Chain A
């Protein structure tokens, strides 16, 4: 894993992603993209779904991308990436390209991954393309103005799950997208957050070295969508991890491992209180919603711990075998 100094030096020499784009101050996406690109050795091609990242970085005639980049539509980043990777295989095998391997990395938001892009992602994972799929997950359709998605958490206030005289925010639970991906039996999947950039970088390195599809579900803070101060972006991602709202783990060939264990579980209120999308959860009237959210977190964490414990032996054996 490159240290911060090395990452900075790499960015200075050959930036994969330039500044000057129009993503919001405090947006969680750029540090994810920079850490991902900076952690992949050698040449790479980026593929984007429609979304905040694409719109804000490629306003014609400008581009923020220092690597070859393509965007086609909203629901098909994985399919486009599969096509690019297939062309790479075809051209490589008839000697039309250099010997240095190229890494393919797709970036899509939660809408483009959990919802409209799910089918294309499933197909690409099943076909086994060698590519890294990064979901920058800010938990709603932020680019179109904060509409709820399959990744939006229970009780969150969005423009299509508004709090009103009857509405209490989103009435459904968020999907477990990482588990859906793991069910495809791909060699590598992980959850990460920009606050833990070394953990993210290590996971990207592992993904890049994986012969097959890999998937990273990375929590991305969103000041306008979550209603938090731009300055709290990294802090909030850290709190998400430390409340067990967004545990950091990886799944290697179906085996789970927690990659960061918070010393103390922070109270859920610390996560909720910094965000306006949860501001209706203060007070007695909403206590049931908070209880349900807490239950969801506790269930998730205890299930993850059980999986981690059950797979510990497998990881030990792998390490002993030098894998």
Chain B
């Protein structure tokens, strides 16, 4: 059911995201500038200034206020999006938790970037991981095209009656936000029809009667209300699968929760989030050419964690290298911990690799090395790929 693409433009991930926002035509977009997210809001501000969307753009004084205004706008009854990165997301996190708890379906575009200190503006997943347990859903795009497609898909996921949660759409800072590549945009009307009308129960404006949002819950009710949040996040996996299928039917682009690449008969595989998938695919292709049975799994859906789908995707893999672009000092890093729990009892051996903190490049040579290490017994509890001193051969 593939369709003929009408518009393909050379765009960065940030610009592609701004186009998706223009086509979604959110009612309210409260934003605050931060590298490397800024080109999203700059491009979007230009669209508003040129009358390409009638969004009310709020230039707030901090990301904390951006997310606060977003929760107010979303629960008032307007479709709401915002964008942030790094310290901005860190400042927002208090309200991201509240947005999830109050079931405010705000879409948050994230240009994933390292956290201070020292301050660093480059690609890294530490900011996303800080919000990991907030109840906000998390999607990670591999490239500009996916940043666009996942952003178009996000409002439907956020606003689904079984979900009603914020959705973060992550794209690696600079690797995706600032890298230009051909992006096939949908027609404006197609996006409009796909996202449809924004509807939430009991909005502050235009509701059936007065409703109170954000009330005070004592120990006799807080647990149950939080449990409803857990159920909603878990329900989002199925909703995502359905939306991905619908998106493929309508627009000919299929973005399953897990991107399984050359996993047929694979014995060793890598598990990644985000832009590392592109480099990893090249390496897998090369090694397959050399007769090695290797494959790649890239998660597009990170929260909820697609546990059963991951198990099903493993096939005959015996060793899985999990690549984290974040750390959890004093413990295993987040993606590894999630995968380890999901695959416990399967007999698959998991290895933890940390790479790319603060924008350190991940080379094809380093990934070849990781896959070749997977063929041998583990050399370290956690391998820091590209770290000077530990990994002088890994190249940086």
Name A residues whose Cβ lies closer than 8 Å to a Cβ of B. 45, 47-48, 54-55, 58-61, 63, 65-73, 75-76, 78-84, 86-91, 93-94, 96-98, 102, 119-120, 122-124, 126-127
Instruction: Determine which of A67, A80, A82, A86 lies in contact with B78 in the assembled complex, contact meaning CB atoms within 8 Å.
Output: A86
B207 and A61 contacting across the interface, CB-CB below 8 Å: no
User: CB of B71 within 8 A of chain A?
Assistant: yes
A73 and B205 contacting across the interface, CB-CB below 8 Å: no
Q: Tell me the nearest residue of chain A to B221, going by C-beta.
A: A60
A79 and B72 contacting across the interface, CB-CB below 8 Å: yes
B64 and A87 contacting across the interface, CB-CB below 8 Å: no
Q: How far is the CA of A126 from the CA of B212 in the complex (A)?
A: 28
User: CB of B65 within 8 A of chain A?
Assistant: yes
Q: How far is the CA of A21 from the CA of B26 in the complex (A)?
A: 37
A123 and B73 contacting across the interface, CB-CB below 8 Å: no
Give the chain A neighbours of B56 by CB distance below 8 A: 86-87, 89-90
Instruction: Determine which of A96, A97, A98, A127 lies in contact with B60 in the assembled complex, contact meaning CB atoms within 8 Å.
Output: A127
Name B residues whose Cβ lies closer than 8 Å to a Cβ of A. 27-28, 30, 54-56, 58-62, 64-66, 68-78, 80, 94-95, 98, 102, 204-207, 210-218, 221, 225
Q: Which of A47, A68, A75, A93 has the most CB of B within 10 A?
A: A68
Nearest-neighbour CB distance to chain A for B341, whole angstroms, equals 31
Give the chain B neighbours of A124 by CB distance below 8 A: 65
Q: How far is the CA of A184 from the CA of B211 in the complex (A)?
A: 32
A70 and B72 contacting across the interface, CB-CB below 8 Å: yes
Q: How far is the CA of A199 from the CA of B333 in the complex (A)?
A: 60
Q: How far is the CA of A83 from the CA of B69 in the complex (A)?
A: 4
Give the chain B neighbours of A126 by CB distance below 8 A: 61
Q: Tell me the nearest residue of chain B to A74, going by C-beta.
A: B94
Q: How far is the CA of A43 from the CA of B38 in the complex (A)?
A: 38
Q: How far is the CA of A88 from the CA of B73 in the complex (A)?
A: 8
Give the chain B neighbours of A82 by CB distance below 8 A: 30, 58, 60, 65, 69, 72
Q: How far is the CA of A213 from the CA of B102 in the complex (A)?
A: 27
A83 and B71 contacting across the interface, CB-CB below 8 Å: yes
B213 and A87 contacting across the interface, CB-CB below 8 Å: no
Nearest-neighbour CB distance to chain B for A287, whole angstroms, equals 44
A76 and B102 contacting across the interface, CB-CB below 8 Å: no
Q: Tell me the nearest residue of chain B to A75, going by C-beta.
A: B64
B80 and A60 contacting across the interface, CB-CB below 8 Å: no
Q: How far is the CA of A73 from the CA of B101 in the complex (A)?
A: 12
Give the chain A neighbours of B216 by CB distance below 8 A: 54-55, 58-60
Give the chain A neighbours of B73 by CB distance below 8 A: 83-84, 86-87, 90
Q: Tell me the nearest residue of chain B to A44, going by C-beta.
A: B210
Q: How far is the CA of A182 from the CA of B285 in the complex (A)?
A: 65
Give the chain A neighbours of B215 by CB distance below 8 A: 58-60, 63, 71
A72 and B95 contacting across the interface, CB-CB below 8 Å: yes
Knowing A58-B212, A83-B73, say if A120 contacts B218 (CB, 8 Å): no
Nearest-neighbour CB distance to chain B for A109, whole angstroms, equals 15
Give the chain A neighbours of B95 by CB distance below 8 A: 72-73, 76
Given contacts A60-B225, A83-B74, 7 further A-B contacts (CB under 8 A): A68-B204, A70-B212, A73-B95, A82-B65, A83-B76, A94-B54, A123-B60
Q: How far is the CA of A222 from the CA of B68 in the complex (A)?
A: 29
Nearest-neighbour CB distance to chain A for B78, whole angstroms, equals 3
The 4 closest A-B pairs by CB, nearest first: A83-B72, A83-B69, A123-B61, A87-B78
A71 and B213 contacting across the interface, CB-CB below 8 Å: yes
Give the chain B neighbours of A84 by CB distance below 8 A: 72-73, 75-76, 204-205
A119 and B218 contacting across the interface, CB-CB below 8 Å: no
Give the chain B neighbours of A94 by CB distance below 8 A: 54
Q: How far is the CA of A91 from the CA of B71 in the complex (A)?
A: 16
B204 and A123 contacting across the interface, CB-CB below 8 Å: no
Q: How far is the CA of A127 from the CA of B59 in the complex (A)?
A: 8
Q: How far is the CA of A69 from the CA of B28 in the complex (A)?
A: 19
B64 and A65 contacting across the interface, CB-CB below 8 Å: no
Give the chain B neighbours of A76 by CB distance below 8 A: 64-65, 68, 95
Knowing A69-B210, A71-B214, A72-B98, say if A83 contacts B68 (CB, 8 Å): yes
A87 and B60 contacting across the interface, CB-CB below 8 Å: no
Q: Tell me the nearest residue of chain B to A102, going by C-beta.
A: B205
Nearest-neighbour CB distance to chain A for B264, whole angstroms, equals 49
Q: How far is the CA of A69 from the CA of B210 in the complex (A)?
A: 7
B214 and A70 contacting across the interface, CB-CB below 8 Å: yes
Q: Tell me the nearest residue of chain A to B55, going by C-beta.
A: A90
A90 and B205 contacting across the interface, CB-CB below 8 Å: no
Nearest-neighbour CB distance to chain B for A77, whole angstroms, equals 8
A60 and B218 contacting across the interface, CB-CB below 8 Å: yes
Q: Tell me the nearest residue of chain A to B71, going by C-beta.
A: A72
Instruction: Determine which of B55, B62, B74, B205 lies in contact with A97 in the assembled complex, contact meaning CB atoms within 8 Å.
Output: B205
Give the chain B neighbours of A48 by CB distance below 8 A: 214
Q: Tell me the nearest residue of chain B to A48, going by C-beta.
A: B214
Give the chain B neighbours of A58 by CB distance below 8 A: 212, 214-216
Give the chain A neighbours of B213 by CB distance below 8 A: 69-71
CB<8 Å pairs between A and B, sample of 22: A48-B214, A59-B215, A61-B221, A68-B205, A69-B211, A70-B213, A72-B71, A73-B98, A79-B60, A80-B72, A82-B30, A82-B60, A83-B28, A83-B70, A83-B73, A84-B204, A86-B28, A86-B78, A87-B76, A87-B80, A90-B73, A122-B61
Give the chain B neighbours of A96 by CB distance below 8 A: 77, 206
